[in-house]
Structure 1
Amino acid sequence: GTCGLAALAMVHRYYSLQEGRRPRPSERQVLVGDELAAASSLTLAVLGKTSAGAVLPRSSLLELAKTRGYSVLGEMFNISQLADLASLEDVGLRATVLRSPTPHQVVDLLKAGVPLIVPFDVGMDGEPTVVGGEHAHYAVLVGFFNCSEHPACGGENDLVLFARHAWNVKPLHLWSFRQLQASSRQLESTSFYGRPGDGQVPRSTYTKGRSDLREPKCMALPPKGPGSNRALTRESLADQILVVTRRQSQERNK
């Protein structure tokens, strides 16, 4: 899917609205695939801004991802490459990858009004699950509360995170930090590319039966083992979050 691009589109829209600017008619809507309609209706309500569709000048995220050789259908199995897309001049954001994030780091960033993009395995209900990375997905963290300070938690001491993602299963997901961390940490591998390095993307439900697709030129994922039909995502995806902030006005005007 194109969930990583959809998440980035939501964050871009959030910052555009913070600046109080309205998209010009000449600007093109970001095309992120089938998830666009869902992504366009999501709101970053906890941060106090509404996402009514994401807009970027000149080119779409999907086109940028394909042109740079990061993706063939919008899939993003390397969070550093997603950071690179966010930091392009056409997108106008700044993005850094935070590895093994702690609860304190997540809270401090959300308090500062910074939405966080996080990869995890997603279940059919839209909630984090544990399937070794086969259902890797992205969500945007938009808020939190400390469960130890809330009577509804029954005394459990855990950080609860508010999240949104492109499936639009719920208007707002509530996940414990430990639940999300457990899902993110085990993003081991994917079968999307089949045998890495053979140049082919195998026909599957992910490709909607297409057999004419080639590996993106900058895929950079090693095989899980000799002759394996799975690509490792442990280093490129697991236990990492993307911290996306605005570029300063002087940077954007250069």
Structure 2
Amino acid sequence: MCGLVALWMAGALLSLPKEVSLERIVQVALERGYTAQGEMFSAADMAKLATEVFPCQAELLSGGLEGHNHERILRHLSAGFPVLIPYDEDSNHEPCFRSGYKAHWAIASGALLGLKSGSQMPPCQEDTEISGLFHASPCVSIFPLDAVAETYLLSKQGKSCRYQLWNYIRVQESNAQLTDFSPKRAADGKVYIMPAGGVREGLCGKAVLLQPKAPDGSNPSE
């Protein structure tokens, strides 16, 4: 139930007026036919489920995590909102490349940016304990990508109680090669809900951006 657990964890970051239990999320997913065993092989269904269980807005990104979507994700994280990202999970929970056989969901809640030497520093405050680490002020939307040398995502997934820093390029590449359903799962005798087009259509190059609804129903990030 990694996707449903990731969605539940995302709810804790949305400042919702009322907590929604994991049991409720699972119940709705089963009732809507999004899942049979707790699996979520469709990012589109994940986005729909999020708006059904939370008073939130969900934006489905497609076409990969690079380029404009890279900037979109960083801007979303800098506003304090979570991102749900499917990827292949290695034994240490980090992204790997198994063609979708180890497809998993993680939640990203922040980013660590390494700036190129000589880049102009936006309004930031240096960490009191770690020299060279700066915290962006709330007024900073995001740094220009041409000033960023490296990007790491502050990520967490349901099998671990700890956050990890993942190299953005590795996450992007893991997300981009989600193409096939695990033969081991296919032969285990269980029923799984798979979208038309399979894992490639449901997860490859996809991510889900979540944010709470504004009181007037507008997009609070605009």
Same fold by TM-score greater than 0.5:
yes
Residue aligning to 1:186: 177
Q: Partner of 2:159: helix, strand, or coil?
A: coil
Q: Determine whether 1:157 maps to 2:149.
A: yes
* Equivalent pair of 2:177/2:204 in contact (CA under 8 Å): yes
Give the residue type in structure 1 aligned to 2:39: E
* Equivalent pair of 1:93/1:245 in contact (CA under 8 Å): yes
**Aligned counterpart in structure 1 of residue 49 of structure 2, from 82, 85, 106:** 85
By relative contact order (CA 8 Å, sep 6+), the higher-ranking structure is 2
Q: Determine whether 1:116 maps to 2:116.
A: no
Across the aligned residues of Structure 1 and Structure 2, the Cα RMSD in angstroms comes to: 2.4
* Equivalent pair of 1:116/1:243 in contact (CA under 8 Å): yes
Residue aligning to 1:249: 215
Measured at CA, do residues 108 and 12 of structure 1 come closer, stay the same or move farther in structure 2, by a change above 3 Å? Answer: same
Q: Partner of 1:157: helix, strand, or coil?
A: strand
User: How many Å separate the matches in 2 of 1:165 and 1:215?
Assistant: 21
Q: Partner of 1:10: helix, strand, or coil?
A: helix
Aligned sequence identity (%): 24
**Aligned counterpart in structure 1 of residue 72 of structure 2, from 95, 105, 117:** 105
Residue aligning to 1:11: 10
User: How many Å separate the matches in 2 of 1:134 and 1:214?
Assistant: 16
Q: Partner of 2:61: helix, strand, or coil?
A: strand
Q: Which runs of 5+ in 2 are unaligned?
A: 118-131, 134-147, 218-222
Give 1:148 shift: 3.0
Measured at CA, do residues 94 and 236 of structure 1 come closer, stay the same or move farther in structure 2, by a change above 3 Å? Answer: same
Q: Determine whether 1:237 maps to 2:203.
A: yes
Give the residue type in structure 1 aligned to 2:203: L
User: How many Å separate the matches in 1 of 2:89 and 2:185?
Assistant: 19
User: How many Å separate the matches in 1 of 2:213 and 2:71?
Assistant: 24
The one-character-per-residue Cα deviations of 1:109-142 (angstroms, maximum 9, x if unpaired) are: 1111111000000001111000000000111111
TM-score (ref. length: structure 1): 0.65
Give the residue type in structure 2 aligned to 1:163: S
Q: Which runs of 5+ in 1 are unaligned?
A: 32-59, 195-201, 204-210, 223-231
Give 1:91 shift: 2.7
User: How many Å separate the matches in 2 of 1:172 and 1:220?
Assistant: 30
My pick for the range that moved more, 158-167 or 118-127, is 158-167
User: How many Å separate the matches in 2 of 1:161 and 1:13?
Assistant: 18
Q: Partner of 1:108: helix, strand, or coil?
A: helix
User: How many Å separate the matches in 2 of 1:104 and 1:135?
Assistant: 27
* Equivalent pair of 1:187/1:237 in contact (CA under 8 Å): yes
Q: Partner of 1:117: helix, strand, or coil?
A: strand
TM-score (ref. length: structure 2): 0.74
| Paired residues, number | 184
